[in-house]
Amino acid sequence: MVVLEVKVYDNDIEKALKILKNKLSKSGLFKELKLRRAYEKPSVKRKRKAIEARRRYAKVQRRRSY
């Protein structure tokens, strides 16, 4: 379990909430919650994971080509 911590400076709660939301989205929490709302068939899960893997691989290839 990863502990996310956001410090609030000068009672600026709005900025702290923005930072927290950004950290949560980058950690993948919102995506995980969305996926767990409903049951996902194993075949659909495999297909989704394969698509995500292809997307990550393509991203790495784009970065290496520069």
pTM here is 0.63
Annotated domain spans of the chain:
13-65
Assess whether pLDDT exceeds 70 at residue 1.
Answer: no
Total residues found in the chain within this entry: 66
Angle formed at CA 15 by CA 32 and CA 31, multiple of 5 degrees: 10
Cβ pair 20, 6 in contact under 8 A: yes
- Average pLDDT score over residue span 12-30: 94
